[in-house]
Amino acid sequence: MSVPTPAHGAAPPDDVAPAEAYERVRAGVTLLDVRDAAEIAAGLPAHATHLPLCELERRIAAIVPDRARPVLLICASGRRSSQGAARLRALGYDQAASVAGGFQRWRTDGLPVARAPGVPDDLDVERYARQLTLPEVGLDGQRKLRDARVALIGAGGLGSPAALYLAAAGVGHLTLVDDDRVERSNLHRQVLHGDADTGRLKTDSGAARLEALNPSVQVTRVAERLTADSARAVLEHAHVVLDGADNFATRYAVSDACVELGIPDVHGSVFRFEGQVTVLWPSAPGGGPCYRCLYPEPPPPELAPSCGEAGVLGVVPGVIGMLQATETLKLLLGVGAPLVGRMLQYDALRGGFDEFDVPRDPGCPVCARVTRVMSNG
Amino acid sequence: MTDVIVRVPAVLRPFAGGADELRVTAGTLGQVLEQLAARHPQLVPRVLTPDGRLRPYVNLFVDRTNARALQGLATVVPSGATVSILPAVAGG
């Protein structure tokens, strides 16, 4: 684009390096940050005034009434501030100049950064910027996620993608429950672990990966297999449980404990090219089944081969685990319609989902008794 | 009697000649299973007990509704319906 000629015919001022700009600002020169509001959430140069480029001409006179005074402009990398400086010079601000390299270089050069006005100091707003802008999340929702406690049963095919996305989303407290160690045959689907983790406890390798992804997440490691006796104690502080276990005994133990605790059990399971996902939560408004309502008894071993025996396409637990993570975030945020009383069945080969109604069993030996006790207060 | 599509889950396909979908003509869910038993004798024992009740680790859905919430095997199957067999799977 063409750059307007300075009004008085003088050569336009050169771009100014960030360190030099900072010196001038400290000496009283006005520094305008012309980035958008969303961009300054992570902070802006110390002493800068926020004036988005689109409002430059309209508001400049109120901020810098004297056109003879020098003005510095900064953006993310230096391009928009350069255009802005030219536009100001066209208005008669002959001393308008751009900061070379923008805010990126400002930060790399270690210059001081100020908090943007109206931005809270208790959230990493830059990290979560793209979901903070969703009205369904916002600052309140992000704080809910930060304060949330989710227990993941299994750090395997389902738990891996779920844990990664929950940590990335800023769920503040994750408990990984798994007694297995990483084997090389896990790695095609258990993306929480890497080749160098072979032989490590999955809870250790998973916690390290999650903390590297998002250091603000606290990961609790429980390197044991949940049983009917231990499940309640391990899960009692969780707001939501995400079940990605690989055996029926653990799944019944998890479901029974969740019924007793009155918390949702986000259930996922896979077999070869197929997967199921639902939210088991009998005490939810409107109710829903527990695992025993759905399947009162486990199948015999010949009809229940594990992934190890039957094989599984690695992406299938990826799809199902991600749906579990999605349902978990919805529950924590209190948005949307949870998969309570409904089951999604995914068939990768057919390339389709089916949805089934899964009602509560009023005669269920576990949830009918517990929810009756709860409703009686 | 109406045409019905039966979806066979992966875990039961070895007992259904490898088919993922079967077509039968039947009026009730019980008749659907009779038709399946005639063609694939090994399949139905995995779905029903020897005395003809639904096994506790399998659900049958007529379209999206669980047969347990309808009339069980006496449920009338509408024309063009899809019957889905969904056994419990535990893989994680």
Rounded to a whole number, what is the distance in angstroms from the first to the last CA of chain B? Answer: 40
Q: Can you give the pTM of this predicted structure? A: 0.81
Report d(CA A219, CA A172) in Å as an integer. 8
User: Which residues face A30 on adjacent strands?
Assistant: A71
Note the pLDDT of residue A11.
80
Shared domain for A91 and A151, answered yes or no, is: no
- Please check the confidence at residue A328 and state whether its pLDDT lies above 60: yes
Which residues of chain A are within 8 Å of residue B20 when distances are taken between CB atoms? 349-350
A307 within a domain of the structure (yes/no): yes
Q: A257 and A360 share a domain?
A: yes
As a whole-number percent, the residues of chain A with pLDDT over 90 amount to 82
B61: which chain A residues are within 8 Å (Cβ-Cβ)?
A: 356
**CA A338 to CA A244: how far, in whole Å?**
18
**Does some domain include residue A12?**
no
Residue range A207-260, pLDDT digits in tens: 999 999 999 999 999 999 999 999 999 999 999 999 999 999 999 999 999 999
Tell me the residue range of the domain where A68 lies: 18-114
Residue A376 has what pLDDT? 54
pLDDT digits (tens, 9 = 90+) for A188-208: 999 999 999 999 999 999 999
Chain B contact for A349, CB < 8 A? yes
Q: Using CA atoms, how far apart are residues A70 and A84, in angstroms rounded to an integer?
A: 14
A110 with A141, same domain: the answer is no
User: At A186, is the pLDDT very low, low, confident or very high (cuts 50, 70, 90)?
Assistant: very high
Mean pLDDT (whole number) for A118-141: 87
A317 at B interface, C-beta within 8 A: yes
**Residues A95-119: tens digit of each pLDDT:** 999 999 999 999 999 999 998 877 7
Residues A89 and A229 in one domain: no
Q: Is A19 on the interface with B (CB under 8 A)?
A: no
Reading the block at residue A341, the tokens are 């009383």
The total number of structural domains that make up chain B: 1
Q: Is B51 a member of any domain?
A: yes
Give A141 to chain B, closest Cα distance, Å. 29
Nearest to A246 among B7, B57, B91 (CB): B91
Per-residue model confidence (pLDDT) at position A5 = 46
Q: Which long-range contacts (CB under 8 A, 24 or more apart) does A75-83 make?
A: A75/A33, A75/A34, A75/A35, A75/A102, A75/A103, A76/A35, A76/A39, A76/A102, A76/A103, A76/A104, A77/A101, A77/A102, A77/A103, A77/A104, A78/A15, A78/A102, A78/A105, A80/A34, A80/A35, A80/A53, A81/A34, A82/A15, A83/A1, A83/A53
Say yes or no: A76 and A138 in one domain: no
**Number of CB atoms found within 10 A of residue A343's CB:** 23
A10 lies in a domain?
A: no
Structural domain ending residue among the three candidates A90, A114, A138: A114
- Strands B58-62 and B65-66 come out as antiparallel
Q: Residue A322 above 60 pLDDT?
A: yes
Residue A120 included in any domain: no
* B19 touches A at CB < 8 Å: no
Q: Is residue A8 part of a domain?
A: no
At B78 the three-state DSSP class reads coil
Please tell me if residue B88 touches chain A, with a CB cutoff of 8 Å: yes
CATH of residue B7's domain is: 3.10.20.30
Q: Looking at A51, A84, A114, which one is the last position of a domain?
A: A114
Distance in Å, alpha carbon of B25 to nearest chain A alpha carbon:
22
Considering the domain boundaries, does residue A29 fall inside one?
Answer: yes
pLDDT tens for A295-314 read: 999 998 877 777 677 889 99
Query: Tens-of-pLDDT digits for all 92 residues of chain B?
Result: 889 999 999 889 999 999 999 999 999 999 999 999 999 999 999 999 999 999 999 999 999 999 988 999 999 999 999 999 999 998 88
Residue A6 within any structural domain of the chain: no
Task: Give the three-state DSSP class for B77.
Answer: coil
Predicted pLDDT at A303: 75
**pLDDT value for A3:** 46
Supply φ then ψ for residue A49, to 5 degrees.
-105, 135
Residues A38, A108: one domain? yes
What CATH number should be reported for the domain holding residue A288? Answer: 3.40.50.720
C-beta atoms of B64 and A306 within 8 A: no
Closest CB to B10 among A247, A274, A356: A274
In the predicted structure, residue A9 carries a pLDDT above the cut 80: no
Say which of A246, A307, A354 has its CB closest to residue B84: A354
Residue of chain A nearest B21, judged by CA positions = A350
**Please, are residues A81 and A75 in contact by the beta-carbon 8 Å criterion?**
yes
Domain ranges, residue B23: 2-87
Q: Cβ neighbours of residue A24 under 8 Å, at least 6 residues apart?
A: A16, A70, A72
Q: What is the Cα–Cα distance from B36 to B32, expressed in whole angstroms? A: 6
Inter-chain residue contact B56 with A274, CB threshold 8 Å: no
Domains: count for chain A: 2
A266, A366: one domain = yes
Q: Does A323 lie in the same domain as A208?
A: yes
Which candidate, A68, A66, A82, places its Cα nearest to that of A32?
A82
Of A56, A90, A114, which residue constitutes the final position of a domain?
A114
State mean pLDDT over A164-189: 97
Based on C-alpha coordinates, what's the Rg of chain A? 28
Say if residue A286 is in the same domain as residue A339: yes
Q: Does B84 touch chain A (CB under 8 A)?
A: yes
Residue A55 covered by a domain: yes
**Average pLDDT across chain A, whole number:** 92
* CATH number of the domain enclosing A84: 3.40.250.10
Q: How far is A214 from chain B (nearest CA, A)?
A: 24
Q: Give yes or no for A294 touching B (CB within 8 A).
A: yes
Mean pLDDT of A175-192: 97
Per-residue pLDDT for A336 more than 80? Answer: yes
Place of tokens 């230096």: A78
Q: Would residue B92 count as lying in a domain?
A: no
Structure tokens at B92: 């994680």
A287 pLDDT above the threshold of 90: no
Residues A229 and A344 in one domain: yes
pLDDT at A300: 87
The rounded distance, in Å, linking the Cα atoms of B62 and B85 is 9
Q: Is residue B31 part of a domain?
A: yes
pLDDT tens-digit series, residues A49-101 = 999 999 999 999 999 999 999 999 999 999 999 999 999 999 999 999 999 99
Say if CB B3 and CB B32 are below 8 A apart: no
Distant-in-sequence, close-in-space partners of A174: CB < 8 Å, separation ≥ 6: A149, A150, A151, A152, A163, A166, A167, A210, A217, A218, A219, A220
pLDDT at residue A122 above 90? no
Q: What is the ipTM of this complex?
A: 0.94
Asked if A235 and A287 sit in the same domain, the reply is yes
Helix (H) or strand (E) holding A345: strand A342-347
Report the C-alpha dihedral over residues A332, A335, A336, A342, rounded to 10 degrees.
30
